[in-house]
């Protein structure tokens, strides 16, 4: 998979050089390219923003630099229509099913907005060449798209075969089957007056599986009843 990220703070994305994603890049499983939006400006001050039409606080990101940056990325894309993901508080909520879908795509492009956002005209213009998705991490507001991109790249990248050492560890995770994950424990079996649930020490894998599923349902009922509105997958 190829991933391009466009930002006015490219150093924010340096976290993609380390750990799981960094190793996947070194192993050739991921081709991640980070671009400085200011490289696509032509004035002395490398201007990427201007005042909003209609008034209001803050600044809006100018369309021209975005168009030039996206054209440059599209020009050497391995696919006809790359997927353009734009983090925004006004987007559809990112989810594990969306991460699984995006992990199948060959070329993802992430546009990191700042200020009050990107000029709205960029999105219909980009839709001529990209599959444009406006995506939110949740009902809260960050100062820009970079943190959201780090989260999405990690959520998608770890699903690519070979990125996570043991693919088994991807199976029983929160949201993989529509439920929250069960609690986990390790040695010692008794710690500061807190004991590991005896069933986990029983060696009875059938009972352990039943207990774990019950824990998933209980946790989901308590913490995320909204997830139970949908039928959990088998």
Ligand X SMILES: OB(O)c1ccc2cc[nH]c2c1
Summarize the annotated binding site for S-adenosyl-L-methionine as residue ranges.
113, 137-142
Q: Which residue has the tokens 């989810």?
A: 95
**Minimum distance, C-beta of residue 87 to ligand X, in the bound complex (Å):** 4
Q: Smallest distance from the beta carbon of 31 to ligand X, in angstroms?
A: 24
**136 or 216, CB closer to ligand X?**
136
Rounded Cα–Cα distance for residues 143 and 173 (Å): 29
Q: Is 111 in the site for ligand X (CB under 6 A)?
A: no
For residue 188, cis peptide bond before it (omega within 30 degrees of 0): yes
Helix H segments across 127-228? 146-157, 205-223
Among 10, 22, 63, 89, binds ligand X (CB under 6 A): 89
List the one residue from 144, 177, 197, 218 that touches ligand X (CB under 6 A).
144
Closest by alpha carbon to 88, among 61, 48, 64?
61
CB of 166 to ligand X, least distance (A): 31
Both tokens of 130, joined, read 């990209």
Q: What are the tokens at 61?
A: 């990101």
**Distance from C-alpha of 14 to C-alpha of 110, rounded to nearest angstrom:** 15
Task: Pick the stretch among 65-73, 134-142, 206-214, 225-233 that binds ligand X (CB under 6 A).
Answer: 134-142
- Residue numbers of the site for ligand X (CB under 6 A)? 87-89, 113-114, 117, 136-137, 141-145, 148
């Amino acid at each position: 998979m190829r991933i391009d990220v466009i930002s006015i703070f490219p150093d924010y994305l340096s976290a993609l050089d380390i750990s799981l994603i960094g190793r996947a890049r070194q192993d050739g499983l991921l081709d991640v390219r980070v671009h400085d939006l200011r490289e696509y400006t032509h004035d002395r001050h490398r201007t990427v923003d201007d005042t909003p039409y209609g008034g209001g606080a803050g600044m809006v990101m100018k369309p021209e630099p975005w168009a030039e940056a996206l054209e440059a990325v599209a020009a050497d894309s391995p696919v006809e229509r790359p997927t353009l993901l734009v983090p925004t508080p006004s987007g559809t909520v990112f989810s594990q099913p969306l991460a699984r879908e995006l992990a199948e795509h060959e070329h993802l492009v992430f546009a990191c907005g700042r200020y009050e956002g990107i000029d709205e005209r960029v999105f219909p213009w980009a839709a001529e060449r990209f599959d444009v998705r406006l995506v939110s991490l949740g009902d809260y507001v960050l100062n820009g798209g970079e943190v959201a991109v780090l989260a999405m790249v990690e959520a998608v990248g770890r699903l690519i075969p070979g990125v996570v050492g043991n693919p088994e560890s991807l199976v029983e995770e929160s949201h993989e089957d529509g439920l929250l994950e069960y609690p986990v424990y390790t040695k010692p079996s008794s710690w500061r007056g807190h004991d590991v649930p005896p069933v986990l020490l029983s060696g009875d894998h059938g009972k352990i599986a039943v207990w774990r599923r019950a824990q998933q349902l209980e946790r989901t009922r308590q913490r995320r009843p909204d997830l139970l509105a949908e039928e959990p997958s088998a």
